[in-house]
Amino acid sequence: MLDIATTIQERVKSIDVDIKTYIDKYAEANSQLNTLQKSKGTNFLNTDLSECIYGKAAKSDFVPEDSNYLLNMLVVVPARKAQDFMD
Higher pLDDT: 21 or 68? It is 21
Higher pLDDT: 5 or 62? It is 5
> pTM to 2 decimals?
0.43
Q: Are 12 and 6 in contact (CB under 8 A)?
A: no
At 25, the pLDDT band (50, 70, 90 cuts) reads: very high
- At residue 50, the pLDDT reads 66
Which of 67, 86, 68, 69 minimizes the C-alpha distance to 78? 86
What's the rounded Cα separation, in Å, for the pair 32 and 38? Answer: 10
